Every structure is written in structure tokens, then in C-alpha cells.
Structure 1
């Protein structure tokens, strides 16, 4: 599965970059050597901790770290590391939030100012023009990746190997499960869990382990999880809810709504997350 998503190739590239920077450290000024070793350490850590998952948000602050390291490398020894200015094109190509892209653009401009004394005017103008063109192409490519990854996250498991899906999949599954319940006489309900933001992924993993293999778990937002729970009767469903809550953190609040009461054709993920109170029953 990992090779399918090119994780091994990306890990190899990170390790190769770390080795290249490590070989660059001899005869380097102390300040530049410090930044180089910080960069090497960051690349090694990311290479060994890398895995395929849709859990990470493209807006997390950790995305600023490579930009900070890159501008620090250029600032520490612009006459030696000026060639790294072309790495900004690769940085801007990564899927990232708007404020991260703005930071990287500003850092690329600062890097250009830092290397300007090393160039004559024609070379500086050519450098700025090339960086501008590459930056625009990189941002365009990043937007394509963001759009593509967004559509992929709607169809793939958010954690490989677990039945955890995006909220859009819930809307598709509701219609299918309603048809099956009517045909087979099964009772089903949507069980909604409200968690703290930092509890989302551990709770989602635990919920996937506690539910049956044929019951999916869905992430509606950064604080809301949902599972489609099947049972023989409402009484059995209530017992299952109690057992699930007993194995989950105590500060979780929960609600449920019978599957038959939901109209999937006129419901969105946002509306599902904000179901009217009269339609939802609080779990006791």
C-alpha cells in the first residue's frame, strides 16, 4: 500500500537530501553549519516518521519549518548557499494554506535580497524573472494538488486499514443503508460523537476498533465523529451505545438519530453536523 502512494520514493528523496546537506557541512562557517545540521535532522526525522495518511491538515504550522530552515540557510552564508534560492519553487509547489504560501513568497523575496549583492544587475533581473515564473507555475500546481487531494479524501479511508471515512461518504452510505434496512427489517441509527479537537484521531481509531467491520466511522469535522450503527432493535442499539461510551473518554457528548428519519437527498455534511435538536436524541 505504501509503495502505491510513493511513500518509499518520498522517503528516499528526503534521505538523499539530508545526506547531500551533511556532505555540504565541511569548511562551513559555524552559523551556517548549525543551520545545516538542523536541516539534516529535520529531513531525517520526517523521512523515518513518514507514513501515508489523510489525517494531516495542509494548514498546520509545521509547514513553516522547512521555509524557515531554507531562508536561514541562505541568510547564514548567501555567498555559499545562494543556489538554494531555486528550492523556493519546490516549496511553493507543496499543497499549503494561503497564509503558509504568503510566508513562503515573502521568504523567497527576502532570499532574493540576500543574494542580490553576489550578482550584477542583469543577473539579478534574470533571477527575479525566473523565480516569478517558477513561483506562479508552482502555485498553480499546488492548487491542482489541493483540489485533487480534496476529492480523494472524500473517497478514501482517512486512516489506511481502518473504516474511517470522510463525511461525504456518509451521505452516500445513508441512502444505501436505508434501502437495506427496509429490505431486511434491520434497525439502524446514526450515532454522533462530539469530542475535543485533540481527541479526534485517537477516539476515531478506538471507535473503529469497537464497531463491527461492516459499520463505518465518519469524520464530519475536527470535533465530530459519526458511525452508522446496525442492530436488531432499538433496545439492542441502546445497549451498544452504552458499551461504546463506556470504552471512550468520559468527556465525550453523544447523540443519535434513527436512520429512517434522515432525508439524504436534501442533506449536506454541514447540515448533518448541525442537525436540528428536535430530530436528535441525546444519549444518556
Structure 2
């Protein structure tokens, strides 16, 4: 019976891995094809499609997406840390209602949020904010619940005895926050910031309503290109984006220990 269970487990694992990796393999093969026809013959593969990514058509949207994602990650990290600290650690009055309010954006479809933000700015006569400012604000609203929840999880597991011990040893509040609390919540904060960066960089539903000519993010540039042609350049863009996101995750892991949050510890 144990052998049968183990065989079923490994079979299920193999099927899941195949389901995840096979589309990626097809995309990578398409990005290396000599023509629009996908070629699985390595002898015919070429990197010329990646050379087209160096044009301003792709570099400018990529740089804009990176700038927006960095700003969104930083703002979401600061706001999420402060919100989680006030609700979980300080336990301000109505903390449960405040946490529910902070997580409320998760229950609203992104398309609805995009339309609502456009209507809100139009009613206030702030159409000039459409573009990068509106994208940053909308992405922060979208990413903030993830950061807040992950930091709140770290704070919920915080041993308050450590804070009391530091206070007895003469540490002031700032020192306790700097040397006791922050190192413990850092994995949760960094994991939330990583999610915020990825969500902002890859976002389409919100961005499609808020971009304006000259402020086109990479996902929107991909959609605009698909309206006219489907060629290996699209596969090259997707592969390059995937490599960039993996590199960003690796960087955040090295800086603060992204995976430590998964194990409930700190790094």
C-alpha cells in the first residue's frame, strides 16, 4: 500500500511539473526559432529575435515597468509595514476592521478597480494624473494587501518577551524596533515587497485603463504588438521577462531571505 501511495505521489508530481514546464519549453523554443514556425531542432535555432529587444520599442516600456515596480515595491513595503505594525503589534482600536479594510482590494476585480480609478480622477478633474502617477497609485492599492498580510503574519509570531528583555536592558523604542523587531519581520517584509514588485511589473488589467501615449508599460506594449502580429519576438519578450523576474526574486532572496517566510523563520 505504501509503494502504491508513493507511486501515485511521484506520478502526480511528475504531471504537475510537466504541466508547468512544458509551456515554458515551447515558449523558449519559439523564441529561438528561425521563422514563425516553431522548430525543435537545435541546429536551426537562432538568437536574432532577442536582438530586436534592444530597440526603443521594447527597452522604453521595460525601463518604465521597472521604475514603476521599484517605486510600488518601496511604497507598498513602507505602508504595509506601518499598517501591520499598528494593527498587529500596537493593536489600535478596531484593528480587525482596519485589517479587513486593508485586505478589501483583494475582493474587487482589477478591471473594476481600473474603471473606478479612471472615473474617480475624471470626477475630480485630475485626468492629467493618468499615466505613471495613476499607475503607481493603482499598483500600490493592488499590492498593499499582500505586503500587509505577510508582515502581519511575521508580527503575529513575534515573541513579545524579546521586546520586554530589550526594554529591561535599557533599549529605547527606536532601538527595539531597529534591532529586535525589524530583523524578525524582515523575511515577511521582503517576501511582500517581492510580490509587490512582480505584481506591478506584470500587471495588465489595471494598466490597460491608466496608461497614456508615451507611458506604455511592457505588458501593454506586448498586447499592442499582438494586435498586429504573432511572431517569435513575443516569445523572446516573455522569456526575457521571465529571466528578469527570476533574477529579481533571487536578488530579494539574497538581500533578506525570501524563502525564510515560507518556513516561518527569519534569516
Query: What is the TM-score of this pair, normalised by structure 2?
Result: 0.25
> Relative contact order: is structure 1 or structure 2 higher (C-alpha 8 Å, sep ≥ 6)?
2
Higher strand share: 1
Structure with max Cα Rg: 1
Higher helix share: 2
